[in-house]
Amino acid sequence: MIGRSPLAREFWKHGRVAACPIYDMHGHMGHFHSIYFPRADAASMVRTMDEAGVRLLVFSHHAALNSPDLANEPSIAAVKEFPDRLRAYCMINPNYPEQVARDLAAFSNLFPQVYVGFKFLSDYHQVALTDPRYAPAWEMANERALPVLAHTWGGSAYDGEAVVREVAERYPQVRFLLGHACHGAWHAAVALARDFPNIYLELTAVFDDRGVIEIFVEEVGSERILFGTDLPWFDPHHAIGVLMNADISDADRHNICHRNAEKLLAPILPDLIA
Amino acid sequence: MRFFDCNAFFGLPARRPLAPVATAEALLAEMDHAGVDRALVWHIAQHDVAAQTGNRLLTESIAAFDRLYGCWTVLPNHASELPAPAVLFEQMYKTRTVALRAFPDDHRFLLGEVSMGDLLSAMVLRRVPLFVSLIRGITWRGIYDVLEAFPELTCVVCDHGCWGEDRMFRPLLERYPHVYIDTAQYLLDGGIEALVSDYGANRLLFGSGFPESYFGGMMMALKHADIPLEAKQAVAYGNLERLIERAWGDIVKEVVV
Ligand SMILES: [Zn+2]
């Protein structure tokens, strides 16, 4: 038994709990460099989601991250294959402004059947979140109060805490999901979440750092923390085990697993969330 | 399901982490909360201070708790600061110390025949497991090197990381029959299933990486992995029990609860 609470007992016993569905707000899909992924295609990922009670995964295909040739097409195809279980972030690669223009032009037609927001990967594309090449996407997200999941890493000149603060000030309507929660700069992430009510801390790759979740819950509150796994990278059961083992309440666990995501997504996906 | 953790430490690190666990008593309290029965542990001073200091602290701290087994740190011994292998093993047996750890890069030596051939040969003969951690003082290159020189060494590779290391450890599992990996940071979705399917259930040991990682993460991943119950039991505790028994025989019988 990994924890004493009723929810921990249920998850430990069954691996998933109907009363506590999971919304995984940070996923990918497909091959990536030389990484061996046993379950990286859409069908295998949905199988994993079933095993852990993951209701919905919001993701961006690895090809969308790193291949301007393929761009968002593989993400779109996967959502169309599993429309009840998957939604995509429209990946923005600011190194190709003409592709960004095409992605933004296509966005409205694909929202919300395919897209629920945008994904930025500044560290990898080596373009800071504050760079003008991101501005068209930020502006669209700000106007429509959309979720933006940005990879954020402590100390990064592209998406570290200082850069995040600057764009958060600029775009107060964006639902700004800090992917990896400014990894390593945990207290800066707390300060950002306290200063900006539109900022959410997303937990991909945070689950394996013992103590962070307790700090976030204590100092920010569990209402602005979101579950994420980088699936197909990380087993959602690992993340669930950590949440059940961590020193937080079952109410906090419900917030992190589903309530916060439901609130965030309900205006966008009223049919799916209801 | 019982759990026997092969990879946990206690003691206060020199650089303060978020959630340190200072004492063996505090470690046991966390193990009780998570449902971990036994653990093979080391003291952070073995890395942060010195082998001699840390090993002594470890032994004093766990003496009263037979759910905890010790894992000492070793060094090249050309100045004879540590006992010779036969005496070292005797002391280990008396103190429930069943494995050894080395941090060659951080402790500035080369783990291999020239520097530590005497001890490594004796470990092979006695089948004493060597634990190494990719997050403390060794690289894959160093692990490949020591195994090339000592292909029969029992070596448990810990903390190999969450960003996809299969192409690093699978060649070792295929080449060297006494190489094992632990579960700490093996977050890969479907990873446990794939590894058990390709290499059987005997090459993977439950290791938490506590206190830097939670016990509950990999416990949950293992509990709900899509593998047979016997395979889960092997990973959760059976494989580590077997490694200890091979080296120390009755030491396990004496202290198993
Ligand atoms: Zn990601």
Confidence of residue A6 (pLDDT cuts 50, 70, 90): very high
CB atoms near residue B160 (< 10 Å)? 23
Ligand 1 centroid – CA A62 distance (Å): 9
Confidence of residue A254 (pLDDT cuts 50, 70, 90): very high
pLDDT, residue B121, reads 98
pLDDT, residue B99, reads 98
DSSP class of B48: H
Q: Which residues contact B21 (CB under 8 A, 6 or more apart)?
A: B10, B27, B30, B210, B211
CA distance B51 to B103: 10
- Could you tell me if A41 lies within 8 Å of chain B, comparing CB atoms? no
| Mean pLDDT (whole number) for B146-165 | 97
8 Å CB contact of A208 and B194: no
> What are the two backbone dihedrals, phi and then psi, of residue A75, each rounded to the nearest 5 degrees?
-65, -45
Residue with tokens 């093979």: B40
- Please list the helix, strand and coil fractions of chain B in percent, rounded to the nearest 5, in that order: 45, 15, 40
| Mean pLDDT (whole number) for A127-153 | 98
CA distance B130 to A170: 54
Residue with tokens 């439901």: A262
pLDDT, residue B257, reads 42
Give me the CATH topology for the region B4-256: TIM Barrel (3.20.20)
Confidence of residue A8 (pLDDT cuts 50, 70, 90): very high
Q: Is the pLDDT of residue B253 over 70?
A: no
> What are the two backbone dihedrals, phi and then psi, of residue A10, each rounded to the nearest 5 degrees?
-65, -45
CA distance A21 to A265: 14
8 Å CB contact of A38 and B218: no
pLDDT, residue B254, reads 45
* A31 → chain B, closest CA residue: B164
* Token pair recorded at residue A262: 């439901």
The β-bridge relationship of strands B4-10 and A225-226 is: unpaired
Which helix H or strand E contains A81, and what residues bound it?
A: helix A73-81
Best residue in A238, A242, A244, A253 for a mutation probing chain B (most B CBs within 10 Å): A238
* Domain residue limits, chain B: 4-256
User: How many domains is chain A built from?
Assistant: 1
Q: What is the ipTM of this complex?
A: 0.97
Give the dihedral sign, CA B159/B218/B180/B98. Answer: positive
Closest by Cβ to A208, choosing from B164, B185, B220: B185
Confidence of residue B211 (pLDDT cuts 50, 70, 90): very high
Q: Is the pLDDT of residue B256 over 70?
A: no
* CATH at A213: 3.20.20.140
Paired strand residues for B43: B10
Short-list A21, A26, A7, CA closest to A54: A21
| Mean pLDDT (whole number) for B172-182 | 98
> What are the two backbone dihedrals, phi and then psi, of residue B124, each rounded to the nearest 5 degrees?
-65, -45
Helix boundaries (H) for chain B: 24-34, 45-48, 51-62, 85-94, 113-126, 140-149, 166-175, 191-199, 215-223, 229-233, 239-248, 250-255
| Mean pLDDT (whole number) for B6-30 | 97
Q: B35: distance to nearest CA of chain A, Å?
A: 5
Confidence of residue A223 (pLDDT cuts 50, 70, 90): very high
Per cent of chain A over pLDDT 90 is 99
Closest by Cβ to A237, choosing from B163, B166, B224: B224
Query: How many distinct helices (H) and strands (E) make up chain B?
Result: 12, 8
Q: Which residues contact A240 (CB under 8 A, 6 or more apart)?
A: A11, A22, A52, A257, B220
| Mean pLDDT (whole number) for A38-55 | 98
CB A94 within 8 A of CB A127: yes
Confidence of residue A13 (pLDDT cuts 50, 70, 90): very high
* B183 → chain A, closest CA residue: A238
Q: A136: distance to nearest CA of chain B, Å?
A: 32
Instruction: Name the average pLDDT for chain B.
Output: 96
Residue A270 lies in a domain: no
| Mean pLDDT (whole number) for B95-101 | 97
CB A202 within 8 A of CB A25: yes
B225 vs A contacts (CB less than 8 Å): 237
CB A59 within 8 A of CB A89: yes
Confidence of residue B252 (pLDDT cuts 50, 70, 90): low
Distances (CA, A) of B120 to A39, A150, B109: 39, 48, 14
Residues of the domain holding A30: 6-13+22-265
| Mean pLDDT (whole number) for A30-47 | 97
Q: Is the pLDDT of residue B9 over 70?
A: yes
pLDDT, residue A1, reads 80
DSSP class of B153: -
| Mean pLDDT (whole number) for A126-139 | 98
| Mean pLDDT (whole number) for A241-258 | 98
Closest by Cβ to B189, choosing from A209, A234, A244: A234
CB B156 within 8 A of CB B138: no
Per cent of chain A over pLDDT 70 is 100
Residue A170 lies in a domain: yes
- Could you tell me if B211 lies within 8 Å of chain A, comparing CB atoms? yes
Ligand 1 centroid – CA B115 distance (Å): 42
B210 vs A contacts (CB less than 8 Å): 210
| Chain segment B35-92, per-residue pLDDT in tens | 999 999 999 999 999 999 999 999 999 999 999 999 999 999 999 999 999 999 999 9
